Amino acid sequence: MGIKFESLSHFYSGVKKEDSVVAIKDINLYIEEKNEFIALCGQTGSGKSTLVQHMNALLLPTSGIIKIFDNVITSKKKKNPPLKPIRKRVGFVFQFPEYQLFEETVLKDIMFAPKIFGNKDLEAKNKSVEAAKLLGIEEILEKSPFNLSGGQMRKVAIAGILAYDPDILVLDEPTRGLDPKGAKEIMELFYKIHKDFGKTIILISHDMNIVYKYASRIIVMQNGQKAYDGDKVELFKNDNYKSLALTKPEVLNSIDRINSKLNYQIDYNHFDIDDLLSSLRKVNNHE
Ligand code: ADP
């Protein structure tokens, strides 16, 4: 049992009743506990961050329910199960997570969350060192997190989430502010975590190249409602993506041009330019 939204709506209340904002409305959604890589897309204000904040009960529904690993969460605060164990299982990497670093050393910073979630010092340390190795930052554990490059700081912040080993990872624009090389490095890392450990990942991103390369399922929000939920290749097979205010990934524009200019029939199951080039080489070698 993963995460299930049942007719979930969330309104932000204003000072006056008429000022309240309907952020998401009547959402039904199921996310598997393992092995999913979902991109959550949609324009600013479409409800993405309100939606994901329900996934570890940072926000409670205004109406409807959400089931998180069999825990039923409703609008009624007092009747809900303890939220800490749920929060341990759904980890969030917020935008610019490095802004939340605060400890004297990198190691202490990474250990902070595992300790909050009940690990004893030694256990928290072992998990933190493991997470640091995964991110390739084990050499800087005794440094101050404030004397690092932006990319390294971000890795420290991400290690702090991985160290408590959540089942599901929610990533809010994790590549924002990084150069292309740094962005690729971080995305490859999350993809590896997804593949090697079967973790479900929910990625909020406006970058359709990243979305098309790494996700398999795409959910598109529009005006607080789910406007698309399905396969990434299907989404771009016709023009419907335009009405969802999405841009076409570059690799698909290239495929369209090659197919029309050279009369090829390359399909959309190529997820980045390298992927496309290797198919083209094969076609050429056979000619
Ligand atoms: P997105 O993540 O897609 O940008 P949000 O979930 O942040 O969308 O916002 C959905 C709607 O809820 C928007 O109209 C936004 O202005 C409103 N909203 C978001 N957070 C708050 C808040 N704390 N108080 C009032 N309105 C909010």
How confident is the model over 122-132, as a mean pLDDT? 96
pLDDT above 80 (res 286): no
The predicted-structure confidence for 207-256, as pLDDT tens digits, reads as follows 999 999 999 999 999 999 999 999 999 999 999 999 999 999 999 999 99
pLDDT above 70 (res 66): yes
* Residue 259, φ and ψ in degrees, nearest 5: -60, -40
Q: Could you tell me if 142 and 105 are in contact, meaning their C-beta atoms sit under 8 angstroms apart?
A: yes
Residue 258 tokens, joined:
């090659």
For the packed helices 273-286 and 250-262, what is the interaxial angle rounded to 10 degrees? Answer: 20
CA distance 193 to 182: 17
CA distance 33 to 69: 8
pLDDT above 90 (res 260): yes
The predicted-structure confidence for 159-208, as pLDDT tens digits, reads as follows 999 999 999 999 999 999 999 999 999 999 999 999 999 999 999 999 99
Does residue 23 line the site of ligand 1, with CB under 6 A?
Answer: yes
Ligand 1 geometric centre to CA of 60 (Å): 14
Q: Could you tell me if 216 and 237 are in contact, meaning their C-beta atoms sit under 8 angstroms apart?
A: no
Q: Could you tell me if 156 and 120 are in contact, meaning their C-beta atoms sit under 8 angstroms apart?
A: no
Q: What is the mean pLDDT of the chain?
A: 94
pLDDT at 77: 81
Ligand 1 geometric centre to CA of 49 (Å): 7
**Closest residue by CA, ligand 1 atom 22:** 12
Does residue 53 line the site of ligand 1, with CB under 6 A?
Answer: no
The predicted-structure confidence for 87-105, as pLDDT tens digits, reads as follows 999 999 998 898 889 999 9
Half-sphere exposure of 23 (CA within 13 A, CB side): 22
Count of other CB atoms within 10 angstroms of residue 269 = 10
Of 180, 120, 129, which Cα lies nearest the Cα of 159?
129
pLDDT at 134: 93
pLDDT above 80 (res 276): yes
Pick the atom of ligand 1 nearest to 224's CA: 10
The predicted-structure confidence for 13-60, as pLDDT tens digits, reads as follows 887 878 889 999 999 999 999 999 999 999 999 999 999 999 999 999
- Supply the DSSP string of the chain, one letter for each residue: --EEEEEEEEEE--SSGGG-EEEEEEEEEEE-SBS-EEEEE--TTSSHHHHHHTTTTSS--SEEEEEETTEEE-S-GGGSPPSHHHHHHEEEE-SSGGGG--SSSHHHHHHHHHHHTT--HHHHHHHHHHHHHHTT-GGGTTS-GGGS-HHHHHHHHHHHHHTT--SEEEEESTTTT--HHHHHHHHHHHHHHHHHH-BEEEEE-S-HHHHHHH-SEEEEEETTEEEEEEEHHHHTSSTHHHHTTPPPPHHHHHHHHHHHHH-----S---SHHHHHHHHHHHHHH-
Ligand 1 geometric centre to CA of 18 (Å): 16
β 90-93/37-41 pair status: unpaired
pLDDT at 287: 63
- Choose the residue to mutate in 12, 18, 171, 222 for probing ligand 1, maximizing ligand atoms within 8 Å of C-beta: 12
Does residue 48 line the site of ligand 1, with CB under 6 A?
Answer: yes
Does residue 263 line the site of ligand 1, with CB under 6 A?
Answer: no
- Choose the residue to mutate in 8, 49, 50 for probing ligand 1, maximizing ligand atoms within 8 Å of C-beta: 50
Q: What is the dihedral of CA 115, 31, 158, 206, to 10 degrees?
A: -150
Pick the atom of ligand 1 nearest to 42's CA: 3
Q: Distance from CA of residue 259 to its chain's centroid?
A: 32
Give percent of the chain with pLDDT exceeding 90: 87
Does residue 12 line the site of ligand 1, with CB under 6 A?
Answer: yes
Of 107, 73, 108, 109, which Cα lies nearest the Cα of 90?
73
